[in-house]
Amino acid sequence: MNITQELMVEHRLINKINQQLIDLLEIKSRISNKDYFSFISRFVNFIENFVDGYHHVKEEEFLFEGLDLPGVLDNRSPTKILLHEHELAREALGLIKQGLEQSNHSLIEKGVRNYVDILSQHMEKEDCMLYPLAEKSLGEKTKERINQLYVEAEQGNDKSDIWGKQTIFSDDLAKVLD
């Protein structure tokens, strides 16, 4: 049983939208302030509802918890570092939100660049190191339990709606970046 494949697919969408935001910073003089702030506010929504509320919640509450069970990785576990990186990303999100409230372009730009920088390195670490380690180290029973917890956590969320909204966001970004 695989417990990280879906998480990797989520990483691909996160990476794609993050890169689009960097591209948006480059072309912001070509669009109105209203459109620019609207995209930044949709990015905040994407982070809160998809990255934190859908992806990180599964890592933090189930996958990392599973890896930290006694006898799995013990003091070799990298989850503390990864949790700290989630926190650093949330601090960068705080800058973006503060920038939005104050209509402060440089604060927004700093927040977006920090956010993308932290998360891109973080996701590469998970894709190349943590996820393969999880697949190798966790027993089938624990994996089944983690998968079941993912499913339970997703209940009450309309999965196609969550993905659909963010795909529309990415398509809208692609139109202005074209």
Contact residues: Fe ion, CB under 5 A: 59, 126
If the CB atoms of residues 30 and 68 are measured against Fe ion, the closer one turns out to be: 68
| 107 vs 25: CA distance, rounded Å | 12
Cβ–Cβ under 8 Å, residues 61 and 153: yes
- Decide whether 66 or 99 has the Cβ nearer to Fe ion: 66
Q: Using alpha carbons only, what angle is made at residue 92 by residues 158 and 155, rounded to the nearest 5 degrees?
A: 15
Q: How many residues does the chain have?
A: 178
Q: Residue 59 or 62: which CB sits closer to Fe ion?
A: 59
One-letter amino acid for residue 173 of the chain: L
Residue 136 vs 141, nearer CB to Fe ion: 136
Kindly tell me which of 2 and 102 has the beta carbon lying closer to Fe ion. 2
CB of 7 to Fe ion, least distance (A): 6
Least distance (Å) between residue 122 CB and Fe ion? 6
Nearest Cα to Cα of residue 71 among 130, 7, 138: 138
The distance of closest approach from Cβ of residue 94 to Fe ion in the complex, given in angstroms and rounded to an integer, is 18
- Two structure tokens written together for 49: 């509802």
CB of 52 to Fe ion, least distance (A): 10
Q: How far is the CB of 82 from Fe ion (least distance, A)?
A: 5
Number of Cβ within 10 Å of residue 122's Cβ equals 20
State how far the alpha carbon of 79 is from the alpha carbons of 44, 47, 50, 83, 116, in Å.
Answer: 25, 20, 20, 6, 20
